[in-house]
Amino acid sequence: VPGHVLVVPQRVVPKLSQLTNDEYDDLWRSVRIVQHALENHYDAGGFNVAVQDGRDAGQSVPHVHVHILPRIKGDFERNDDVYDALEEWAPTNAMVKKNMEEKEKMELNVPDDEDRVDRTMEQMEDEARLYRSLL
């Protein structure tokens, strides 16, 4: 989903309940600020905002983070198709190749940390510049 952003607290903890009240408040205020910036940039009419709070909830990395997905009217034929698109998203080069070859749905398969392909510093800097300009 274009504009999919993660908002993370400065201190690394696995669960929301481990944040101090100030950290919790700051996290959700930051989510609201990012939503406003993305709303203007992507002309979003809504958002999917999600947290997997702990491993048993599907959290793939052991730190609190909030997913923000800008939504635009008609971006998917059925509104809930966004979840299918997220399942088809492939975070490693090997998964991208497999997905392109098979051209069919695949279950969300989050790779182990050692199998993940990191974005380059240049890619992250470009994205940071874009979002900084929005704030």
State the residue for tokens 């969300």: 108
Q: Is 63 a catalytic residue?
A: no
Q: Choose the catalytic residue: 4, 36, 41, 65.
A: 65
Q: How many CB atoms lie within 10 A of CB 52?
A: 15
How wide is the angle at C-alpha 122 spanned by C-alphas 118 and 31, nearest 5°? 75
Which residues are CB-neighbours of 42 under 8 A, at least 6 positions away? 2, 3, 70, 72
For residues 67 and 50, the answer to whether their CB atoms sit within 8 Å is yes
Amino acid occupying residue 86: L
Amino acid occupying residue 85: A
Catalytic residue list: 65
